[in-house]
Amino acid sequence: MIVSKRIVLHFPRRLVDRPIVYRLVKDYNLEFSILKAFITPAEEGLMVLEVRGEQKEYDKGVKYLTNSGLRIQSLSQDVTRNEERCTHCGACVAICPTSAFEVDPLTRQVKFREEKCLACGICIKACPPRAMELHF
């Protein structure tokens, strides 16, 4: 079975300069797109990947990453909406590059579809009541 998952990789300082992601292709035949990558001032690396491949190989690949010392999170948990603050105005809808926000045509409420979110963060500051929160 082919799976496609979005994951966040946290590289500890000692692994920042090692070619780890490359092995996903070479050893596990996984495709990936880099959605976001940066190194923090403390020299920890963070990379957001979309990974696609056979479920079995994906599981092995993730095991390899974990064994190498990386911390892995699934992406959907990383951008959240504070439901108390959201006013359902819709300012987020057209600026989201992956259309993760949808207006329900009946209720006119804004739905946040976490599975479509890439955690790019564009919505965070563009939200007037600051209802979108980024957690890594």
Which residue ranges make up the site for other proteins (CB under 8 A)? Answer: 85, 87-95, 103, 107-109, 122, 125-126, 128-130
Q: Which of 12, 129 has the CB closer to other proteins?
A: 129
What is the C-alpha separation between 34 and 103, in angstroms, rounded?
A: 28
Least separation in angstroms between CB 129 and other proteins:
5
Least separation in angstroms between CB 130 and other proteins:
6
Q: Which of 46, 126 has the CB closer to other proteins?
A: 126
